[in-house]
Chains A and B, each alone.
Chain A
């Protein structure tokens, strides 16, 4: 089955700096890669996603890149703010007939004011 590895497990950055979280996946059939943000005590919520036919996607301060050949994808947060502090999960899934989402282990991001 699919295996998703996520690094680092914890990340501390100064406010205004950039943060990068990296994930690798094992199943070349995976074709959809969402990223979720989970604030303390709350549910995970989708913040950005990317499909396998796209190499990069950007939404304001967040961007995701995908390298299908290397089977890795990354989340980039620029100009970090204290409210970006949360746990971020990457995920990989196969859509089309047999749907299963595999999550990474999460990255706890702390933005220091």
Chain B
């Protein structure tokens, strides 16, 4: 167990809908990252937060948004869902932003858009 918790584990929803994915980082970790992994694809970086502030942005669609709350948990909001948004969404956390520390991944949320 990495200590990073993602909920829900599975989510099935219809096109056009909106969903929220939740991530609780390891205790003490300030950085949270979101990644998208489509079938047989690599890990696409979406966005990173550090202590509540957006720190880096990847190829995140405008239909997607994220935030990190004062208790350091993070939510990824996906709206106007399309079939192509079906993927495994990973959250990762790490403890500092100025050292080469390991990023720990959660188990992922598998999103299926039908």
Interface residues of B in 14-68 (CB under 8 A from A): 31, 33, 35, 41-45, 48, 50, 55-56, 58
With both chains docked as a complex, state the minimum distance between the C-beta of A60 and any C-beta of chain B, in angstroms: 18
Chain A contacts of B48 at CB under 8 A? Answer: 99-100
* Cα–Cα, bound, A110→B98 (Å): 36
Task: Say if the beta carbon of A31 comes within 8 Å of chain B.
Answer: yes
CB-contact partner of A98 in B43, B55, B94, under 8 A? B55
Contact A51 B45 (CB under 8 A): no
**Cα separation A39 to B41 with both chains bound (whole Å):** 14
A44 to B33, CA, bound (A): 13
Q: Are B100 and A95 in contact (CB under 8 A)?
A: yes
What band does the interface of chain B fall in when counting residues whose beta carbon is under 8 Å from A? Answer: 20 to 34
Interface bin, chain A: 20 to 34
Q: Is A102 part of the binding interface, using a Cβ–Cβ cutoff of 8 Å?
A: yes
Give a binary string over A25-53; 1 marks a CB under 8 Å from any B CB, 0 the rest.
00000011010000000111110010100
Quick one: which of A43, A96, A99, A105 contacts B108, CB cutoff 8 A?
Answer: A43
* CB-contacts of B58-101 with A (<8 A): 58, 90, 94, 97-100
A99 near B102 (CB under 8 angstroms)?
A: no
Shortest beta-carbon distance from B105 to chain A in Å: 4
Given contact pairs A99-B48, A99-B55, A46 touches B43 in the complex (Cβ within 8 A): no
Contact of A103 among B31, B43, B100, B107 (CB under 8 A): B43
List of B residues within 8 angstroms of A73 by Cβ: none
Which residue numbers of B lie inside 8 Å of A, CB to CB? Answer: 2, 31, 33, 35, 41-45, 48, 50, 55-56, 58, 90, 94, 97-100, 102-103, 105-108
Closest 9 interchain pairs by CB? A105-B42, A32-B100, A100-B56, A43-B105, A103-B43, A106-B42, A95-B100, A99-B97, A46-B102
A interface residue numbers (CB < 8 A to B): 6, 31-32, 34, 42-46, 49, 51, 89, 93, 95-106
